[in-house]
């Protein structure tokens, strides 16, 4: 099997696996801008746990390859239009954007990142496992098929049949004993490598507490505003809320969803699908507070956002009894955890 470091050196190998962008979310959830297609240089650096300069330097050295895979820079009117679409609040005159394919490309070029290394290892293992199966072979006139567990079957045969056979031959061999011993050692080495490969696949596929939930936030980042509101409404129904109504449009009076909790309390929800680098500020909490308490006389109020809250905003939420569902809490809620305020 190809070593993960080979991807660092071979462009042809990289080109052959660039369609496997799903691997990114299996290793660590990749958050996207609201357009559902791109990330900024800062977001790429955060994903790989490296400094901003490391990504800029890599782009400088491999710009042509990255551009072929979706990296580009916006300026002028295209930049202004993109800012309006994505909600990015920045005065920069240019903005570098990476597609998911370009991010995967970065993972195959970035040397000093544990996350990038994990992506490369996972990428090669998944690619190896997805090679066409079954393979037709002939055994005593019968047709057999090697399934995706072929490595385990070969390991079993080598350990239980081939190696014992060599042991018997070596005991009775004369002048060819040395050659048989060398062949047995080779077979045992192959068996060992197959066991290591199988153990690594099991480790990569197994659930891990320290690995972010793959794709949970990425899927929400790809939603439009209405889809995000419907997603939150689904979570409310899952957790026992009734009379869940998505208001939508310009008639929501500062509220996106109304409902009754499982205990019959009046519930209102504000939904904000912002880019991860934007924060919910205190004026937004104050505006929601007025709508929730004055206009809707709510007993439970949720402000749900795909981004963080500023310290002042969190303080206001705590003081007024609003539940601030920030990005991390939203990920847990979407993955099955219950919100305490709804229990």
Check which CATH number belongs to the domain holding 328 and give it: 3.40.1350.10
Residues 16 and 116 in one domain: yes
**pLDDT given for residue 178 in this prediction:** 74
User: Does some domain include residue 337?
Assistant: yes
User: Does some domain include residue 215?
Assistant: no
Residues 247 and 195 in one domain: no
Residues 98 and 141 in one domain: no
The residue behind tokens 């509101």 is 229
**pLDDT given for residue 303 in this prediction:** 95
Asked if 52 and 241 touch (Cβ cutoff 8 Å), the reply is no
User: Does some domain include residue 217?
Assistant: no
**pLDDT given for residue 145 in this prediction:** 37
Residues 270 and 294 in one domain: yes
- Residue 75: both structure tokens together: 């300026």
* Boundary (domain end) residue, out of 95, 129, 163: 129
Residues 269 and 328 in one domain: yes
- Give the ranges where the chain is alpha helix by DSSP (H): 6-9, 11-16, 22-27, 41-48, 52-68, 76-86, 100-107, 114-129, 150-157, 163-172, 177-205, 216-221, 225-238, 282-290, 311-320, 327-334
* Higher-scoring residue by pLDDT: 341, 161: 341
Asked if 64 and 253 touch (Cβ cutoff 8 Å), the reply is no
* Boundary (domain end) residue, out of 129, 161, 195: 129
Residues 231 and 293 in one domain: yes
User: Does some domain include residue 65?
Assistant: yes
- Residue 292: both structure tokens together: 């929730």
Rounded Cα gap, residues 197 and 151, in angstroms: 8
Asked if 85 and 35 touch (Cβ cutoff 8 Å), the reply is yes
Which tens digits make up the pLDDT trace of 228-277? 999 999 999 998 899 999 986 555 567 899 999 988 899 999 999 888 77
Residues 323 and 228 in one domain: yes
DSSP 3-state of 178: helix
* % of the chain exceeding 70 in pLDDT: 74
- pTM check: above 0.85: no
Dihedral sign, Cα of residue 58, residue 60, residue 62, residue 65: positive
Sheet containing strand 72-75, edge to edge, reads 38-40, 94-99, 72-75
Residues 176 and 275 in one domain: no
Residues 141 and 93 in one domain: no
User: Does some domain include residue 193?
Assistant: yes
Which tens digits make up the pLDDT trace of 28-83? 888 888 777 888 999 999 999 999 999 999 999 999 999 999 999 999 888 888 77
User: Does some domain include residue 264?
Assistant: yes
**pLDDT given for residue 13 in this prediction:** 80
Let me know if 314 is exposed, middle or buried by CB neighbors in 10 A (0-12, 13-18, 19+).
Answer: middle
Which tens digits make up the pLDDT trace of 1-18? 456 677 788 888 888 888
Look up the domain containing 19 and give its range.
Answer: 6-129
Residue 152: partners with Cβ closer than 8 Å, 6 or more residues away: 194, 198
Split into its structural domains, the chain has a count of 3
Residue 220's pLDDT band, with cuts at 50, 70 and 90, is: confident
User: Does some domain include residue 216?
Assistant: no
User: Does some domain include residue 112?
Assistant: yes
Residues 196 and 285 in one domain: no
* Boundary (domain end) residue, out of 96, 129, 162: 129
Residues 103 and 159 in one domain: no
Residues 186 and 262 in one domain: no
């Amino acid at each position: 099997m190809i070593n993960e470091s080979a991807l660092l050196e071979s462009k042809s190998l990289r080109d052959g696996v660039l369609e496997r962008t799903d691997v990114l979310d299996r290793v660590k959830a990749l958050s996207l801008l609201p357009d559902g297609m791109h990330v900024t240089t800062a977001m790429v650096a955060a994903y790989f746990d490296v400094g901003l300069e490391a990504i800029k330097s890599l782009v400088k050295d491999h710009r042509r390859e990255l551009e072929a895979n979706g990296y580009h820079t916006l300026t002028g009117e295209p930049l202004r239009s993109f800012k309006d679409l994505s909600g990015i609040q920045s005065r920069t005159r240019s903005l570098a954007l990476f597609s998911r394919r370009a991010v995967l490309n970065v993972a195959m070029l970035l040397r000093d990142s544990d996350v990038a290394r994990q992506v490369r290892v996972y990428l090669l293992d998944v690619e190896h496992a997805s090679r066409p199966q079954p393979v037709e072979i002939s055994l005593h006139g019968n047709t057999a098929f090697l399934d995706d567990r072929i490595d385990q079957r070969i390991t079993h045969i080598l350990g239980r049949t081939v190696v014992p056979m060599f042991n018997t031959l070596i005991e009775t061999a004369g002048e060819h004993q040395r050659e048989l011993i060398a062949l047995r050692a080779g077979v045992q080495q192959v068996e060992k490598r197959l066991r290591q490969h199988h153990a690594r696949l099991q480790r990569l596929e197994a659930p891990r507490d320290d690995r972010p939930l793959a794709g949970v936030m990425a899927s929400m980042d790809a939603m439009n505003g209405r889809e995000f509101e419907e997603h939150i409404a689904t979570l409310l129904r899952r957790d026992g809320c009734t009379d869940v109504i998505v208001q939508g449009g310009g008639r929501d009076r500062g509220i996106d969803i109304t409902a009754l909790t499982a205990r019959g309390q009046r519930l209102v929800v504000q939904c904000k699908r912002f880019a991860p680098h934007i924060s919910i500020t205190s004026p937004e909490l104050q505006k929601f507070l007025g709508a929730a308490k004055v206009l809707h006389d709510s007993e439970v109020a949720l402000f749900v956002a795909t981004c963080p809250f500023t310290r002042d905003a969190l303080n206001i939420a705590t003081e007024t009894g609003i539940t601030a569902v920030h990005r991390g809490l939203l990920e847990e809620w979407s993955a099955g955890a219950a919100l305490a305020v709804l229990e």
